[in-house]
Amino acid sequence: MKISASLRTLCVFLRLGLLVLAFLCLAHVPAAAQMPNCSPPNCKVVYAGDDSDNICFTTDHTACPGGSLSVSINFGQTIDFFQPTGVSSLDAHTATSGTSTGFCPTNCTPNGKFDKPGGVGHMVAGTDYPVTFNGGALGVGSYTFYCTPHGNTMTGTITVIADTTTTGPVTRTSGPNPSVAGQSLQFKTTVSNNIIPGTIPTGGVTFEDFGVPITANLLLDGTGSATLTTTSLAGGNHSITAVYTPDVNFSGSNSNASPLSQDVQDFSITISNPAGAALPCPGGPPCPAGESYDYNGTLAPIHGYTGSATISCQGSAPSSCLLVSPANPVAMNTPFTVRASHPSAASTPFSFSIQGIGTPTPTVPRTFPVTLNVGSFNFTALTPNTVSVTQGNPSSPMAFQVSSLGSFSGEVDMSCVSPPSGVTCLFSNGSNTQALSLSAGQTINDTLTLNTTNSVGVSSYPITVQATPVAAPGSFQQRTVTLNEIAGVNTVKTILYFGAWLAGQTDQPLNVLPVFPAPSSPPGGYITATLPIKLEIWGGQLSFKVSASNWSPVSADAQGAQLFITFSEPVLSATANVTAGTDGGESCGSLVSGVSITCNLVTVPFGDINGSWTKEVTVSVAPPVGRFVGVTAEFSTTSENQIYTDSKSQTSTNVIHGTTQTRPRPMVRPGQKPGNTNPK
């Protein structure tokens, strides 16, 4: 069908009208359709435009106040630079913008100007230019931006501030509660961003137990989480929290307000006697006491531990180290004994540990450090080992040594085993026993003197000397010496008496007391003379004198003179000093065991009654209050009494008795005068 020209003309106009209508519709698109593609709170818009009065950067698309613009954003937010067209009263400002700091934000050209998407041309109207401050050089800090060609006329400053965070409560992701010490536990915490949830905090987390760090700073993973896996929590209750240490773009936080409670059960092992010493046990276990050492231990539960423990020795232990009671496994709160021994002396102590491994699984090893000295000692033969002694006289000293072997340390007691009657062993301390304290590697030199009375018959006597280690009495060592007792030569008469010597005194009683003369017709042995003395002592000391005189019809000195003073029971204190007749070399020893003092008088020279033929010893003693104490003085010399051949050299033994008494004090009551027994 043919269409007329007029109709064709109308169609053309209709088409043109539709186009115009379409243009008009496009021209009246709402302003929102031309707004930037920026969604708060993660994005903030900065407009670059002008109005009739100013050119500016502004955050308000309805006005352009002019001047500089200051914008604060949080780290992770986006600044959207936007050149509007037809948005309210602002018009596009076609000049480009950039940063004056030299940092180039996202979509920035190498010349420092913002580029439109696609990298071709500069900022044009209606185009978004988002810059996100989420790391690198555009982290927390201040940045200046400007618009060319206006320079300082159109400037702005962006201040990026750190995001606040929340450290979530610690959660237990693996392991039970309560757990057993040594059991694996896993804890986790997550740090979240309070401002921009999509921006994950970076930095690290430190896990703490009651505020004390138990880890180093653990870096957060890509989800903001950190995990602690541990087997080292000790027995007891634990309060687990996390402390977030941020980088510059975030603020710190912690989970202290919501701690995680974790209970851990454990046990302890304690050895009450960890430092041991024993002699070698060459035959191996079972070893007698002294050749082995018993460690005594206990197990104690911690925080409700209900298991038991298997006891063993660990480390550089001696050859035998075994639990002897009770049998393994050992229950909590049960005493146990571990016995250790070694077949030979060791140059250094064994340092090892006694261990308890908990049962059931998981095992919990707990140890206690101990030591064991395994060594011996050597008691040498005495030199000389044979001595000849005149009846009633002491022998010459015999030397010996006691030495530590290996790591031996401890006390060795010296003594004589059942010496003959009338023979007394005297070691260097003046006693019949001597305690020698050896340290590892030490050698001690000592002497032994055999003191004899005149009752010892002329003969040869074997005498056993014994060294006994206190730690192992059954492991003693013995040496034998020979005593040859010989008859005297009868040269000297001596007198021993209590009191000070006075000129004119003879061996018969005169007007000076107390005097104990030698008997005119002595029986066999020596004479014991007794002088009772009653003393009332109210504290302090009693002093008395003992004199030894050489009263001889021949010109002979009393050689090797010794004075022995003994008390019938231990006294509080006592001293002795040679106070008269000294020639040089005289000395008195200390009080031994509270009962004896030995004085070496060296020589009592011959003389007449007007000469120096007496040596005097002053004794000061503090007896125990209220006790009867007898004092005995004995004198010996290597020169025998010529006249009294049967009394030998020990001419007399004299006893003085001193009694201390307690006297009740009269009680004085409050308000009384002394001596008045009636109250006011």
Residues 502 and 631 in one domain: yes
Residues 387 and 304 in one domain: no
Q: Is 134 exposed, middle or buried (0-12, 13-18, 19+ CB in 10 A)?
A: middle
Domain membership flag for residue 601: yes
How far CA 175 is from CA of 189, 212, 228, 267, 353, in Å, comes to 16, 22, 12, 19, 30
The one-character DSSP state at 391 is T
Strands 477-486 and 386-390: parallel
Residues 123 and 87 in one domain: yes
Better-predicted residue by pLDDT, 116 or 423: 423
Domains in the chain, number: 5
- 168-221 pLDDT, tens digit per residue, is 999 999 999 999 998 999 999 999 999 988 889 999 999 999 999 999 999 999
Domain membership flag for residue 57: yes
Could you tell me the sign of the dihedral formed by the alpha carbons of 130, 133, 135, 141, in that order?
A: positive
Residues 505 and 638 in one domain: yes
Number of helices followed by number of strands (H, E) in the chain = 1, 46
- 43-75 pLDDT, tens digit per residue, is 788 777 666 667 777 787 777 777 778 888 888
Which residues lie closer than 8 Å to 614 by C-beta, 6 or more apart?
501, 547, 548, 549, 550, 580, 581, 604
pLDDT tier at 610, thresholds 50, 70, 90:
very low
Tell whether the model's pLDDT for residue 496 goes beyond 60. Answer: no
Q: What is the pLDDT of residue 290?
A: 83
Residue 407: alpha-carbon gap to chain centroid: 24
Residue pointed to by tokens 């977030």: 244
Q: What is the pLDDT of residue 192?
A: 97
Peptide bond into 679 cis (omega under 30): no
Which residues lie closer than 8 Å to 565 by C-beta, 6 or more apart?
546, 576, 596, 597, 598, 599, 617, 619, 631, 632, 633, 634
Residue 591's CATH number:
2.60.40.10
Strands 336-341 and 293-302: antiparallel
pLDDT tier at 486, thresholds 50, 70, 90:
confident
Residues 333 and 400 in one domain: no
Cβ 338 vs Cβ 294: under 8 Å: yes
Q: What is the pLDDT of residue 372?
A: 93
Tokens for 211? 């505020």
Instruction: Give the pLDDT mean for 466-486.
Output: 91
Residue 306's CATH number:
2.60.40.60
Residues 169 and 296 in one domain: no
Cβ 130 vs Cβ 78: under 8 Å: yes
Tokens for 210? 């009651």
Residues 525 and 589 in one domain: yes
Candidates 529, 523, 619; CA nearest to 574 is: 619
Q: What share of the chain is helix, strand, coil (3-state, %, to 5)?
A: 5, 45, 50
For 636, the domain range is 494-659
Neighbours of 510 (CB within 10 A): 12
Residue 85's CATH number:
2.60.40.420
